[in-house]
Structures are given as C-alpha cells and as structure tokens.
Homo-oligomer: A and B are copies of this chain.
Amino acid sequence: MNATIITIGDELLIGQVVDTNSAWMATELTKLGFTIENHISISDTGDKIRSTIDRYLPENDLIIFTGGLGPTNDDITKKVLTEYFNSSLVLSEDVLSAVEAKIKSYGSTMNDLNREQALVPAAAKVLMNNHGTAPGMWFEKDGRVVISLPGVPSEMKGIFNDHIKRELGSYFSLPHIIYKTIMVSGISEAHLAEKLSNWEAALPAGVSLAYLPSPEAIRLRLGAKGVDEASVLKLLDEPIKTLHDIIARYIYGYDNETLEEVIGRMIAERGSHLACAESCTGGTIAQRITAIPGCSKWFKGGAVVYSNEVKSAVLGVEAETLERFGAVSEETVTEMVKGAQKVFGAEYAVATSGIAGPTGGSSEKPVGTVWTAAAGPGFIVTKKFNFGKNRTMNIRRSTAGALSLLQKAINCN
C-alpha cells in the first residue's frame, strides 16, 4: 500500500517552521506496513491543494493532509476538500458538544469561528479530536483514502493514535515491515562500505540496506517485508548475524541509541560514575551526557579547561608537561583524564585536547589535530585524530571520537 503525506502551510514553505509532522506520521505508517512515496509541503491555497491531490491520488492508496484546519480565515483545507469531494458542510452535533466542552475547559466562551469548527463535510467520516477543537476527516474514493488532520503536532498525533491506526488496519490489507538499525562508530563510511561490500551483495532478496552517516555515528538500517512478523524477523536474522562477524568491534548499539546512552548504561550497571575534562570539545561531551534524563545517578560533572593555567589549576596538569609537550599532546590529555577522575571522584573519565580551528594550528600540529583519552579501573587509553579544518565538525568529531574510545575501552575491560 502506498501513502503520501502532504503538509499545508506557508510557514513550512518559507522555512520558518521545520516540518516534524511528516517524519512522525511516516514512522507510524511505515510500522503499519505502508510504503511512503512522498512527503510534500505546499502553500494553503485552493489551487495548490486541488492540483496536488489530482497529481498524487491516482498513485497512492492513502493521502494524509495536515494543516489548514484552524478557525482563522487563512485555514481553507476543510472548504477545499469538501468541494473536491462534491460534498457540502453539515453541522455535527457531536463535534459541536465537544468543541463547546473544550472551549469551556479553556475558561473561554464560544464565538462564530468556534461554531464553524462543528461544520463537517457530509461525505466524510468525522475523526473526533480529544486534544483540540478541529476534528479530523476521512474521505474515501475508489478504494483510496484521503485523511485531513490539524497541523498542531499534539492534535495530529492524538487523532492518529485514537482513530487512524485502527481504521487503516481494518480498511486496508497491510504487509508486515520491520527495520533493524545497527549503530556503528570508530570507522569511516567508505571503509565500512568496503568491509561490507561482499556481505551487502549477498543480502537475500527482500532485505534492503541503508547507510545513515553523521559525525556521531553511522547507522546501518536493514529492512525487510513479509506477511507476518515471524517470517520477516527470520529474513533479517542471518544478515545481522553475519554482519556481527565482520564488524563486531565497531558496533556499539541498536535502534538509534547514542554512544553516551550506551556508556551511561554500562557505567550505571557497574554502580560507577563518569567525569569529563574537555579542552577542544568545550563542554560538548558534558552537554550530550546531561541531555540524558536521570544521568545525575552516574555523571559527576566535568571541567572545560580552555587555558593552560586552568588545566593546571582545576585538573592538576603539571606546568612542566604543558611546557615540554604542549597542551595538545598525549601526555597532557593523559594528565587531564587522571585529573578528572581525581577531582570529580569518578571511576571513569574521558578527556579531549585539540586544535578545533580555524586558527591555532602549526606545521607540526595542524588544525584538526586532536588527542583523546579514556580511563577507568585498570585502564588508560589514548587516541590521536587528524580531522579537517571546520571548527564545528572538529568539535562534533572529537566528541564522538572520545566517546567511542571510552565505550570500546569499557567494553574490553
């Protein structure tokens, strides 16, 4: 079954608002077994809405619109769809009572614009909105379905969960689709692809592979489709097992887990704590860790030590080490990671010292030279990176490199 998602609104088209509705609905529809053909954003004009349905309805079993259902004059989706399906607006007593109750619960009183929200197309099935005032609408035409939902994410999600999942399941006969995502770090995309080329070529029919790279990790996404869950899982079993045999040391997790989540779980399981000492990453490691709810159980804190004096004053790095080897050196980053363990009272620590750029490089240590270190009970490991000239990318790559070093070290110790 093919589906297309159409979001309506000038604020999307001019880039003022990033469309997150499409990704959410796509995830849900994919889980239900739909193949998503397109996401489309268009402006809220009748011509545009009509021409887009004309264009996409013949090649899709399902079209879902979001947006343009509010009470104000620039919201025209209901009017346009009513005309498109040769219908007319009728009063729904159910919707009227619901809108009245909702408005009352806001401590407000009904006006004409609110009352108009209870007018619904006679040709549509009404999808009650328990999360706002504009109801959703379900139209059918020649075995195809067109759904219109409000653009407010919480209302769209509410109506989807309350009604649409069930209605789609009973209207369409849907296949079973499963995706497995394998999280990989510590290897470049090109080298990974080289290692996996034979494995990829031997993937069974019906199994698809995608590389989703970012400076933080490479996500390998395997997908398979079948008539029931058991047969699809079986199709994925063997490729995932052989993948493990080839790149086990680079796999750190599954299904969109982050490196810091995996590290946090491992450290929390050991009843231990983490601290960090950051120079070139400037707080990015701490920021990523503290984005995790509940991290205070296992994260003690960190020091951002940008100047040499502060490296010594806060972390106890020896002035002689800094003078003899420089701030960007294996010796300094080793003293930083030990200092973080000691000062913050943490069993595990991670440290970075490098030249993020755009200035500050030398011929011996060009911009992009980064030393990282990780320490824990019984181990200290260090790793040098040579990244590029882009400051933002160097910070993200150094953060990922340091976390990857720590994760692999904990795993091996």
A binding-site residues for B, Cβ under 8 Å: 10-20, 22-28, 30, 36-43, 48, 55, 70-74, 102, 105-108, 111, 113-114, 131, 152, 154, 179, 181, 188-191, 193-194, 200, 208-214, 219, 221, 256, 276, 278, 281-287, 289-291, 293-296, 299-307, 309-310, 313-314, 343-345, 356-360, 368, 385-393, 395
Contact = CB atoms under 8 A, between A and B. Distances in A.
A41 B39 contact: yes
A32 B114 CA distance: 38
Contact of A289 (B22, B219, B282, B386): B282
A217 to B, nearest CB: 13
A34 to B, nearest CB: 10
Given A106-B388, A200-B73, A283-B287, A111 B393 contact: no
A386 B107 contact: yes
B22 A26 contact: no
30 contacts: A10-B210, A15-B24, A15-B28, A16-B179, A16-B181, A17-B23, A18-B23, A19-B22, A40-B41, A72-B193, A107-B385, A108-B190, A114-B190, A131-B390, A131-B393, A152-B214, A154-B392, A154-B393, A283-B284, A283-B304, A284-B287, A291-B391, A293-B391, A296-B360, A299-B306, A300-B306, A301-B306, A313-B343, A314-B314, A314-B343
Contact of A286 (B43, B286, B387, B389): B286
A306 to B, nearest CB: 4
A19 B16 contact: no
| Number of copies of this protein chain within its complex | 2
Contact of A13 (B16, B18, B36, B194): B36
A70 B15 contact: no
Nearest to A307: B300
A356 B390 CA distance: 32
A307 B303 contact: no
Contacts of A390: 131, 154
Contacts of A310: 300-301, 344-345
B307 A11 contact: no
Contacts of A37: 13, 42-43, 48
A179 B179 CA distance: 44
Given A301-B307, A302-B304, 10 more contacts: A15-B36, A19-B39, A105-B386, A105-B387, A152-B214, A283-B289, A299-B306, A301-B303, A301-B314, A303-B303
Most buried by B among A20, A294, A388: A388
A41 to B, nearest CB: 4
A41 B25 CA distance: 14
Contacts of A194: 111, 113
Nearest to A42: B38
Contact of A303 (B105, B108, B193, B314): B314
A27 B22 contact: no
A322 to B, nearest CB: 14
Contacts of A343: 313-314
Contacts of A387: 105-106
A304 B286 contact: yes
A27 B14 contact: yes
A243 to B, nearest CB: 15
A23 B10 CA distance: 11
A107 B181 CA distance: 28
A296 B306 contact: yes
A210 B42 contact: no
A143 to B, nearest CB: 23
Given A131-B393, A299-B306, A313 B17 contact: no
Contacts of A276: 304
Nearest to A393: B154
A286 B41 CA distance: 35
A72 to B, nearest CB: 5
